[in-house]
């Protein structure tokens, strides 16, 4: 479901794939060859959510702009996700920045004003707390997330390769989707004949 909010409609590149069961609302921009998988939610209502190219948002992940309350007044933060980023199944990115070529592991959390620098990896189930910055090419794990080790050159390249492979999978889905909508079109408007 793709929905406008406060007059802002999601802008999704024509080469990007969005599964019909994903929900995308408001001020959201999605770049070329990116993909959004079943059940994922991307909500750009408090502020903008931008997603680069060749990035995948896997099943049931939640991407939202951030809201922080000091003295009872809300302050809003955009969420920015770069290119060649893998957001694993069931992860949450809320009011945070994820730079290019990162992996945000399945079921992990990246919270308000956190920043994941280029080429880093947040481990399965980790929680990157508010205002925390993960340095470039660093693996972090645990709650709260702490550095485990650095990313090797080989792993850094592998993140990009994995993102490109996901884009190929998305392309296959896009083609299948257009074939089935063409088939519906051929069938035309269903009509019952009079006796």
Ligand X SMILES: CC(C)(COP(=O)(O)OP(=O)(O)OC[C@H]1O[C@@H](n2cnc3c(N)ncnc32)[C@H](O)[C@@H]1OP(=O)(O)O)[C@@H](O)C(=O)NCCC(=O)NCCS
Could you list the residues that contact ligand X (CB under 6 A)?
Answer: 86, 88, 103, 105-106, 121, 123-126, 139, 141-142, 148
**Comparison of 86 and 110: residue with beta carbon closer to ligand X:** 86
**E strands within 40-161?**
41-51, 56-57, 62-64, 66-70, 73-77, 79-81, 86-87, 92-94, 97-98, 103-104, 109-110, 115-116, 121-122, 127-128, 133-134, 138-141, 146-150
Structure tokens at 156: 């850094």
**Comparison of 38 and 142: residue with beta carbon closer to ligand X:** 142
Residue 60 Cβ, how far from ligand X at the closest point, in Å?
12
**Comparison of 78 and 125: residue with beta carbon closer to ligand X:** 125
Instruction: Report phi then psi at 124, rounded to 5.
Output: -50, 130
Residue 121 Cβ, how far from ligand X at the closest point, in Å?
5
**Comparison of 10 and 55: residue with beta carbon closer to ligand X:** 55
Residue 131 Cβ, how far from ligand X at the closest point, in Å?
21
């Amino acid at each position: 479901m793709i929905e406008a909010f406060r007059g802002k409609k999601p802008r999704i590149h024509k080469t990007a794939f969005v599964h019909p069961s994903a929900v995308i609302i408001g001020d959201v921009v999605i770049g070329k060859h990116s993909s959004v998988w079943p059940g994922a939610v991307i909500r750009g209502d408090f502020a903008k959510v931008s997603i680069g190219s060749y990035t995948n948002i896997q099943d049931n992940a939640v991407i939202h702009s951030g809201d922080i309350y000091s003295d009872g007044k809300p302050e809003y933060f955009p969420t920015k996700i770069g290119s060649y980023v893998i957001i694993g199944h069931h992860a949450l990115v809320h009011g945070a920045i994820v730079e290019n070529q990162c992996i945000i592991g399945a079921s992990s959390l990246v919270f308000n004003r956190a920043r994941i620098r280029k080429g880093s990896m947040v481990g399965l189930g980790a929680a990157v707390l508010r205002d925390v910055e993960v340095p470039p090419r660093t693996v972090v794990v645990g709650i709260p997330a702490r550095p485990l080790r650095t990313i090797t050159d080989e792993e850094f390249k592998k993140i990009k390769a994995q993102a490109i492979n996901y884009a190929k999978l998305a392309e296959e889905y896009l083609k299948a989707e257009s074939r089935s909508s063409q088939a519906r079109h051929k069938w035309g408007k269903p009509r019952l004949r009079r006796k």
